[in-house]
C-alpha cells in the first residue's frame, strides 16, 4: 500500500446477525476501520453528525425510516454500500448514486469487490494483496452462539447440519444439538462456502459429513435431509465436483 490511511465505516442495520457479519468483514480489510454501528436510521443520523464517516454500509428495510429515505436526508453523504435481502430496490438505489448494492447473504468476496469500488485508485490493493485478504478471510475454526443465556462455542468441524425453525435455528453437531435465535441467511453468509451448502430452504449441511445422497435426499448419520427443488441443480453439481 502507498499509504497507511484508513477509511471509517458505519454499519446501519436493524438485524444484529447482519451487523455481526459486516463487523467481521470490515475487520479483515486493513484499509477499513469500524467507527460504529447503528440499529436504525435515527441512530445513524446522530452518528453521522458526530464523526467523519467515509463508507456507510446501509440496510434498506428498517423500522421508522428506510435506508433509501435516510439517503434522501443526507446533504453530503459518504460513500454508500447498500446491504439488503431484497433485489427490487436496486434501480432506485442506483438513482441515488450509491457505490454498490449487496444482496444478503453477502459473501466476503462480494463485500471486498464493493469496498474496492469505494476506495480511490491509489488506495486499491494489488492483486497479491487482494488474494492475501481473501485468504485471510477464511471463517474461523469456531463461532459463538447465544443459547441458554450464555455464549456457546461451536467448532465448525463438529457441525453436521443446520435446521431452520422460523426465527431460530437448530445446529446439529457431533456433540448434540444447539438451539439459537438466528436468521438462516445470516448464518449461511458466516459459514465457509467451500465447507457448507444450502440444500433446502430449511437446511444447511456440512459437505464432509454427508454419508450418501440421491437427487432428492442427503443422508447424514440417521437423518434424511430433503433437497429442495430450487437447490437441486446446484447441490448435485457441488457434490459431483467434490468427488472430483
Q: For position 234, what pLDDT does the model report?
A: 87
Which of 2, 70, 84 is CA-nearest to residue 40? 70
The distance from CA 242 to its chain's CA centroid, rounded to whole angstroms, is 24
* pLDDT tens digits, one per residue of 33-58: 999 999 999 999 999 999 999 999 99
Cell of residue 244, nine digits = 472430483
Q: What is the pLDDT of residue 2?
A: 45
Give the residues across from 165 on adjacent strands.
Answer: 168
Mean pLDDT of 231-236: 90
CATH code for position 226: 2.40.50.1020
Evaluate if residue 122 carries a pLDDT over 70.
no
Range of the domain at 56: 7-136
Above 60 in pLDDT, residue 130? Answer: no
| Stated length of the chain | 244
In angstroms, how far is the first alpha carbon of the chain from the final one? 38
Write down the pLDDT at residue 195. Answer: 87
Cα–Cα distances in angstroms (integers) from residue 167 to residues 58, 120, 180, in the given order: 22, 40, 9
Same structural domain, 12 and 116: yes
- Assigned domain for 41 exists: yes
Mean pLDDT of 71-83: 93
Residue 1, domain member (yes or no): no
C-alpha span between 70 and 23 (Å, rounded): 21
Provide the domain count of the chain.
2
Residues 6+ apart with CB under 8 A from 49: none
C-alpha cell at 24: 467481521
CA distance 171 to 193: 17
pLDDT of residue 119: 81
Smallest CA-to-CA distance from 182 within 159, 200, 162 is with 162
Same-domain status, 149 and 105? no
Tell me: pLDDT of 1 over 70.
no
Read off φ and ψ for residue 140, nearest 5 degrees: -65, 170
For residue 65, CA distances in Å to 14, 88, 91, 104, 206 come to: 11, 18, 19, 20, 38
Shared domain for 89 and 106, answered yes or no, is yes
Claim to verify: residue 86 and residue 104 sit in the same structural domain = yes
Q: Which residue bears the cell 477499513?
A: 32
Say which residue, 86 or 171, is predicted with more confidence. 171
DSSP bridge pairs for 82: 58, 101
Both 53 and 86 in one domain: the answer is: yes
Choose the final residue of a domain: 136, 168, 188.
Answer: 136
Could you tell me how far CA 197 lies from the centroid of its own chain? Answer: 14
**Residues 22 and 128 occupy one common structural domain:** yes
Give the pLDDT confidence score for residue 121 in this predicted structure.
Answer: 53
Answering whether pTM is above 0.85, one says no
Convert the pLDDT of each residue in 181-224 to its tens digit: 887 877 887 787 788 999 999 999 999 999 999 999 999 998 99
Same domain, 23 and 125: yes
Using pLDDT thresholds of 50, 70 and 90, give the confidence band for residue 125. very low
H/E stretch holding 233 reads helix 232-242
The model's pLDDT over 78-113, given as tens digits with 9 standing for 90+, comes to 999 999 988 888 888 888 889 999 988 888 888 988
The answer as to whether 2 is a domain residue is no
Average pLDDT, the chain: 85
Please state the separation of Cα 148 from the chain's center in Å: 25
Examine the domain organization and report whether 232 and 189 are in the same domain.
yes
- Are 210 and 199 a contacting pair, CB within 8 Å? no
Amino acid at each position: 500500500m502507498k499509504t497507511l490511511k484508513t477509511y471509517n465505516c458505519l454499519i446501519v442495520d436493524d438485524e444484529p446477525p447482519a451487523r455481526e457479519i459486516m463487523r467481521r468483514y470490515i475487520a479483515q480489510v486493513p484499509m477499513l476501520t469500524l467507527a460504529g454501528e447503528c440499529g436504525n436510521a435515527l441512530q445513524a443520523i446522530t452518528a453521522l453528525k458526530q464523526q467523519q464517516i467515509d463508507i456507510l454500509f446501509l440496510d434498506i428495510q428498517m423500522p421508522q425510516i428506510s435506508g433509501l429515505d435516510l439517503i434522501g436526508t443526507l446533504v453530503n453523504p459518504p460513500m454508500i454500500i447498500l446491504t439488503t435481502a431484497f433485489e427490487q430496490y436496486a434501480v432506485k438505489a442506483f438513482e441515488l448514486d450509491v457505490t454498490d448494492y449487496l444482496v444478503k447473504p453477502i459473501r466476503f468476496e462480494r463485500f471486498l469487490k464493493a469496498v474496492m469500488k469505494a476506495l480511490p485508485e491509489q488506495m486499491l490493493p494489488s492483486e497479491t494483496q487482494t488474494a492475501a485478504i481473501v485468504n485471510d478471510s477464511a471463517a474461523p475454526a469456531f463461532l459463538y452462539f447465544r443459547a441458554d443465556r450464555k455464549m456457546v462455542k461451536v467448532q465448525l468441524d463438529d457441525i453436521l447440519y443446520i435446521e431452520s425453525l422460523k426465527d431460530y435455528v437448530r445446529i446439529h453437531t457431533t456433540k448434540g444439538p444447539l438451539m439459537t435465535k438466528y436468521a438462516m441467511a445470516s448464518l449461511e453468509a458466516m459459514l465457509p462456502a467451500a465447507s457448507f451448502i444450502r440444500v433446502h430452504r430449511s437446511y444447511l449441511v456440512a459437505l464432509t459429513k454427508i454419508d450418501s445422497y440421491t437427487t432428492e435426499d442427503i443422508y447424514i448419520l440417521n437423518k434424511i435431509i430433503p433437497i429442495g427443488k430450487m437447490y437441486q441443480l446446484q447441490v448435485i453439481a457441488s457434490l459431483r465436483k467434490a468427488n472430483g
